[in-house]
Chain A
Amino acid sequence: DGGITQSPKYLFRKEGQNVTLSCEQNLNHDAMYWYRQDPGQGLRLIYYSQIVNDFQKGDIAEGYSVSREKKESFPLTVTSAQKNPTAFYLCASSIFETGRNEQFFGPGTRLTVL
């Protein structure tokens, strides 16, 4: 069954702690993305990666870090420097195709800072 998995579905952390969100895909997609979703807002891009060992900042990268050591995996770390980390986090992947950038999304992780 091909797709994108994110774990855990719900995550709680105390203020001042770093936390890592997992994202795995078995679609053989080249590119992977992390978005943040807040109520009443659209999805905002945190980081994206076109190939292994390469990634670029999105619109709201401050307080976050990523790695891309394997094609299938793109974990996101929410650091203590992120001032308002409570949100719904979505991972996506896409394959390069002329004229399109169809992104497939995982089920999301809801992070709550206590």
Chain B
Amino acid sequence: GENVEQHPSTLSVQEGDSAVIKCTYSDSASNYFPWYKQELGKGPQLIIDIRSNVGEKKDQRIAVTLNKTAKHFSLHITETQPEDSAVYFCAASMRPGTASKLTFGTGTRLQVTL
């Protein structure tokens, strides 16, 4: 089955700096890669996703890049703000368009300090 590894497990940055979180996946058949943000005591919320036919996607301060050859994808947050502090999860999925399983990474706790 699919295996997703995520690094780092914790990340501390100063407000205004950039943050990068990296994930690798094992199954070359995976073709959908979402990123979720989870605040304390709440359910995860989708912040951005990318399909395998796209190399990069950007939404305001958040961007995701995908390298299918190397089987890794990354989340980039620019101009970080205190409200970006949360746990971020990457995930990978096969078989889009069905109730396919999302395999999650182990999460990155991002702390943005003033």
Contact among A58, A94, A100, A108 with B42 in the assembled complex (CB-CB below 8 Å)? A108
Decide: A42 and B44 in contact? CB cutoff 8 A: no
Min CB–CB distance A87 → chain B (angstroms): 14
| A111 proximal to B (CB < 8 A) | no
Query: Are A102 and B106 neighbours in the complex by a CB distance under 8 Å?
Result: no
CB pair A49–B106 under 8 Å, yes or no, is: no
Q: For the complex, would chain B's binding face be called helix, strand, loop or mixed by DSSP majority?
A: loop
**A100 near B99: Cβ-Cβ < 8 Å:** no
Which A residues touch B44, using CB under 8 A? 43, 90, 105
Docked pose: A42 CA to B44 CA in angstroms: 11
A108 touches B32 (CB 8 A): no
At the interface, yes or no: A19 with Cβ under 8 Å from chain B? no
Q: How many residues in B have their beta carbons less than 8 Å from beta carbons of A?
A: 29
Q: Is the CB–CB distance between A41 and B42 below 8 Å?
A: no
Q: Which of A30, A41, A58 contacts B106 (CB 8 A)?
A: A41
A42-B107, A100-B51 are known; give 12 further A-B pairs, CB within 8 A.
A33-B99, A40-B106, A41-B107, A44-B104, A45-B101, A92-B43, A99-B31, A100-B96, A101-B96, A102-B49, A105-B36, A105-B43
Q: Which 3 A-B pairs have the closest CB atoms?
A: A105-B43, A31-B99, A42-B104
Binding site for A on B (CB under 8 A): 1, 4, 6, 9, 31-32, 34, 36, 41-46, 49, 51, 89, 93, 96-102, 104-107
